[in-house]
Each structure stands twice: as C-alpha cells, then as structure tokens.
Amino acid sequence: MFRATAKVGLPDDRLGLLRIPADGVLTPRLDSVRPFEPEGLPEEERRPLAAAGTALLVPVRHRGELRAFITLGEKLSDREYDPQDTEFLSAAAGQVAIGLENLRLEEQQREFDKAREIQQGLLPQVIPQAPGFQIAGAWQPARSVGGDYYDIFGLGEDRLALVIADVSGKGLAAALLMSNLQAAVRAFAVETATPAELCARVNRMISGHITAGRFITFFYAILDTRTRRLAYANAGHNPPLLRGADGQVRQLDRGGTVLGLFRDSVYEQEVIGLRPGDRLLFFTDGLSEAANAAEEEFGEERLAAQLGAFGAAGAEEVKNGLLRVVSEFCGGMFRDDATLIVIQVE
C-alpha cells in the first residue's frame, strides 16, 4: 500500500486518507510524469486522489522499481504544466529516489549494526582451556550479518561443552533467533544431559518459536578431558573434521535433522576416543563455501587437507592459518560469516 507521508498545501487529515494499493490499476500506469486521469480507476484509487485535488502524477523510481509517487494539484498561476515543468519534475523525482534509497540503506545498516552487536555479545570472550588440550575459536564476519554461533563452556569438573550452529537467513531476525538458541542451550546443557538429549530438547523449544522457512544447523559435543572421549550429536550441521595423528580424516556426522523443522525429531549420538596428535575442526559453511573470483568454493576437501598442513602447530596457530588461507582464496570477500573451533590434542 502506498500512503501519503508528506504534504504541502493540504489539510493534515489528508495524510491518513490518501492510500493507494501497490498492486492496483494506477501503479502500472506510472511509467512517466502524466496527468491524473480518473477514468478506469476503481473507487478506492480514484476517490482519495481526487479529494487531494490531484492534477499531475510524478513517479519516483529506483532501478526501474516504483518506490513512491508525488501528486500535484493545479498550478497557482492556473497555467497548464508544460514540457519544461515535466522535465524539471522528472529530475526532482530522480533526486527523491536517490534520497529514499539512501534512507533505506541507512536503515539497513542500523539493522546490521544491531544484529552484529547481538552476535558479538553472544560469542565467548574467553575460551576455556583444559590440561592436554588446546582450544581456539574465531568468527570471521562477512559484509552481511548471518546467524553463526559458537560457544565453549564448562560442565562440571573435567568436561567442556562445545557448540557450533548456523541460523538460516541473515540480519536482525537471524541474530535474535541465535540469541534464543544460546539461551536454550545454556538452559538445557546440564551435566546429566547427553548430546542427543540436548538436541531433542532444544529442537522442541525452537520448533515452537521459529517462523516458517527458518531452521538451525547445530552441533553439540561434550569433551571429557580426563578420559579424552568426545560425545557428540550433529543436527544437520556441516560435519566437523577429525584428523588423526595417522593422517586419516573422518567426519562427525552422527545425529539427525536440523533444528526447528520437526518438533519430535529424534537424534543419535556417537562417542569417540581422542589420541595425542589428533586435531578437530568445527566450522560453518561460511568457511567451506568461501569462493574465489571464478565462483569456485574452497570446499571441505581443501579444509581437510589444510588440517594436515600445519605440522605440530597449536590450535591458535592452526585457527589463524586456516582463516588466512581461506581469506587469500576468496580475496577477503567472505559471502557469509565464517566461524570455526580448532581443538588440538596434546
């Protein structure tokens, strides 16, 4: 619906009355400055324009899309609008279109800034460490705001919870959903909850509060630093990569479907043993899908190969190295936020 938002020379109440359907009969006609011709218009379009004393209609378009239009009454001089008037009004409408687009971009930037603030505030400021393990995490923001999330926190003595997730969509809505996800994880991540149980509980909660078409890929693991065993469940997330000390790489893909689609989804879990020299990489698709100028994605095979390219380096060095290699590949132009956790077993 187009509605009047500013006026000159009309009573204030006209702003509330002048509303024109965006998909009506009038708008397709507004391809250029033209006189108001009420013939053929339905009553809901003809009446408010006539009541405003409309004599001329000036479309405001940006890249071919009708963003607004201006109505003008008769000239105070009682003269007709001439070609010079039309040329001037077309130029003025072009400036209005630029102004409207700038306002839209400013509003979009404000939304991105709010989403970025939410996103940054939910990521761990200090990453917990444990004897025998090195843990590093990072979030590489893209130009737009995504719904990436990772977390690492203690679960009693000798156990750490490891979380990585990606909310579908972008912007403030994705960031707000991510904040709900973090709250649910922290609420349900008690010492007695297994990864499979936590995925099921979070999924039930999210399914009741997520809008249609949205979902969350999610990976949750519990690292027992004493027994060196990792229990995990993967809810449709990019499978983390485990590179063993022997150079073999496997994916951690046991679990179930993404969160938010089916309320009663059931999840499986797996428990694996870790050995000195093992290296784990949790990541979001912003890392694997970073693309070069030829639109070739970095891919998970390259990630797996890079895991073995750092020798005996620690987790922090591996994390920085991976980000550097992927950034060089895509020329620093990440299409989506890239998040990763690196765990090095000593």
CA–CA distance from 257 to each of 56, 234, 261 (Å)?
Answer: 57, 8, 8
* Res. 324: pLDDT tops 90: yes
Closest CA to 215 of 161, 178, 268: 178
How confident is the model at residue 256, as a pLDDT?
Answer: 97
Report phi then psi at 315, rounded to 5: -60, -40
Q: Is 223 helix (H, G, I), strand (E, B) or coil?
A: strand
User: Do 110 and 128 fall into the same domain?
Assistant: no
Report phi then psi at 297, rounded to 5: -80, 150
* Domain's final residue, options 80, 114, 148: 114
Tell me the one-letter amino acid at 208. G
User: Do 189 and 328 fall into the same domain?
Assistant: yes
Range of the domain at 173: 123-345
State the Cα–Cα distance between residues 27 and 29, nearest whole angstrom: 5
User: Do 190 and 106 fall into the same domain?
Assistant: no
User: What's the whole-number mean pLDDT along residues 2-6?
Assistant: 89
How confident is the model at residue 158, as a pLDDT?
Answer: 92
**Whole-angstrom distance between the N-terminal and C-terminal Cα of the chain?**
63
CB count, 10 Å around CB of 23?
Answer: 7
Query: Which tens digits make up the pLDDT trace of 201-249?
Result: 999 999 988 888 889 999 999 999 999 999 999 999 999 999 998 899 9
Closest CA to 124 of 318, 345, 343, 341: 341
Domain CATH for 10: 3.30.450.40
Domain count, the chain: 2
Query: Which tens digits make up the pLDDT trace of 111-139?
Result: 778 877 777 777 898 999 999 999 999 98
State the Cα–Cα distance between residues 10 and 127, nearest whole angstrom: 62
How confident is the model at residue 212, as a pLDDT?
Answer: 80
* Domain's final residue, options 114, 134, 157: 114
**7-11, 28-32, 86-90, 140-144: segment of lowest average pLDDT:** 140-144
User: Do 246 and 281 fall into the same domain?
Assistant: yes
Q: Give the single-character DSSP code of 297.
A: B
User: Do 107 and 33 fall into the same domain?
Assistant: yes
User: Do 105 and 128 fall into the same domain?
Assistant: no
Pairing of strands 2-3, 133-140: unpaired
* Res. 161: pLDDT tops 70: yes
User: Do 284 and 313 fall into the same domain?
Assistant: yes
User: Do 164 and 95 fall into the same domain?
Assistant: no
* Res. 174: pLDDT tops 90: no
* Res. 265: pLDDT tops 70: yes
User: Do 290 and 237 fall into the same domain?
Assistant: yes
- Angle in degrees, CA 15, 17, 23, rounded to 5: 105
* Res. 147: pLDDT tops 90: no
Query: Which tens digits make up the pLDDT trace of 330-340?
Result: 999 988 889 99
User: What's the whole-number mean pLDDT along residues 51-56?
Assistant: 91
Query: Which tens digits make up the pLDDT trace of 99-110?
Result: 999 998 898 888
Percent of the chain residues past pLDDT 90, beyond the cut:
68
User: Do 187 and 279 fall into the same domain?
Assistant: yes
State the Cα–Cα distance between residues 220 and 164, nearest whole angstrom: 7
Helix pair 171-188, 195-207: axis angle to 10 deg: 130
User: What's the whole-number mean pLDDT along residues 262-286?
Assistant: 96
Is residue 196 within 8 Å of residue 233, measured between CB atoms? yes
User: Do 108 and 145 fall into the same domain?
Assistant: no
pLDDT band at 296 (very low <50, low <70, confident <90, very high): very high
Mean pLDDT of the chain: 91
Is residue 240 within 8 Å of residue 219, measured between CB atoms? yes
Domain CATH for 233: 3.60.40.10
* Domain's final residue, options 68, 93, 114: 114
